[in-house]
Amino acid sequence: MTSSPNKNQLSVSNISKSHFRLVVMGAAQVGKTAIISQFLYDQFVTEYKATIEELHRGEYDMNGVHLTLDILDTAGSHSFPAMRKLAIDTGDAFVLVYSVDDEASFQEISNLRQQILDERPDNDVPIVIVANKTDIGESRRAILPETAESLVCLDWGNGYVEASAKDNVNIVGIFKEILKQSKVRYELSPAVRRRRESMPSSTDNKKKGKLAKRRTQSVNT
């Protein structure tokens, strides 16, 4: 079935890796699932439901070159250390999400970043820090954007993106930044049309149907 294009469409070219795994991590209720939902399924998840772990998959084709993009949505708690370690060991790149109105969630992504570096000391692992929920307004922010950006970009040497999953602001910018850091060349292509096929959720079969869908895109140039 073919559906209409949307502004979060992504096409990929000059791919050096055919299977790419992106791991999304952060504290509970910072909007990890909402970001993935906006990017892949064009919808904002209003009802909070704790995620244990769920795999989403996007398929991209350009001029006969194929990329499988796996996006792993991880638990926002410390209850599953073995799963967290496995996610870090198998991820190609990491998106660490915090909520701009929650200083503790920023500390959590600092801890997660250090854990990634400890687990992967021999690799230059691409990491992007995402400041989510910017729609709440400047007065409610616990961390000033210039403070966070300076720490992330200058001190840590990682990418930094401000976004709002609720308002669908800069969601595609997150994935552009992580693919750029990962040396996967991309193009935004609003004219692309996609076919969606059902795909079972990896660990949570109770998710709504639309959040267990697989996205396939074909790009002809």
pLDDT > 60? residue 7? no
Mean of pLDDT over the chain? 77
Rounded Cα gap, residues 13 and 144, in angstroms: 36
Quick: pLDDT tens for 76-95: 766 678 889 999 999 999 99
Global pTM value: 0.75
Quick: pLDDT tens for 114-164: 999 999 987 789 999 999 999 999 999 999 999 999 999 999 999 999 999
Give the mean pLDDT of 14-42.
85
Phi, psi of 22 (to 5 degrees): -110, 125
194-198 and 186-187 beta bridge pairing:
unpaired
